[in-house]
Amino acid sequence: MIIIGPAQTVVEDLENVSVDGYDVIVRLNNGIALAQKNPSVLGSRTDVLFHNLMEHGDRSAGAIPAPLLREQGVRFLVFPHWGFKGSKSRLYKKREELHGCQATELVVPSTRFCEGVRRQLDGFQPTVGASAILFFLSAQCREVAIHGFTFFQTPYLLGYNDAVATADEARAWAAASYVHDPAREKTVVMRYISAAEQRGVRVALGANVRRFLFG
């Protein structure tokens, strides 16, 4: 399976990678919009979408109406923040909207997973990207490929979040809600990668993911 992040470096990361050749393609928030613009590089489908369900307003992560999810073949819409204060209303609203939409199932990670991640982040809430990475590194996967993440050290790919144009703005965007800590996330991601590799999981990191994670 492959997780495709929104960092500006994602196109370079995916050189010589056949995204559509993976069994499962995972994207984040407004990642579908990026894929629609460049399917030959970013892949032409989305099997799993991790999304914070903030679809409108200044902090919007991109609208995901039911017709779009069906069109893109999204099998699972994952809301990773359901266990955190003030987040459940978004889940219930989206669940009502998707009622009767058999193509896409709205799901949440287990309480055990959410609480475990929160403990390792010293009480901070994981970003959507970290949630996806940590979830699949914990799962029973043969291979987890991770591309398009620089952990808020570069801008996003154009079209993902127009409110962010620089690396400093990316870090400020993540920190603005006071619930995320990208520095802690890097440490926890490295820990999960090591644990996954010890279990025999093949973890394939894009060149820039590796550079910004371990550099």
Task: Answer yes or no: is pLDDT of 45 > 90.
Answer: yes
Q: Which two tokens stand for residue 82?
A: 């359901």
Model confidence pLDDT, tens digit, residues 54-70: 877 666 788 899 999 99
Question: 201: closest CA among 131, 139, 109?
Answer: 139
- 69 phi and psi angles, rounded to 5 deg: -60, -40
pLDDT band at 199 (very low <50, low <70, confident <90, very high): very high
Question: 119: closest CA among 102, 134, 141?
Answer: 134
* Domain ranges (residues) in the chain: 2-214
Alpha-carbon dihedral sign for residues 156, 67, 21, 193 = positive
- Please give the CATH architecture assigned to the domain spanning 2-214: Alpha-Beta Complex (3.90)
Model confidence pLDDT, tens digit, residues 98-138: 887 788 999 999 989 989 999 999 988 899 999 999 999 99
Q: Which two tokens stand for residue 66?
A: 């039911």
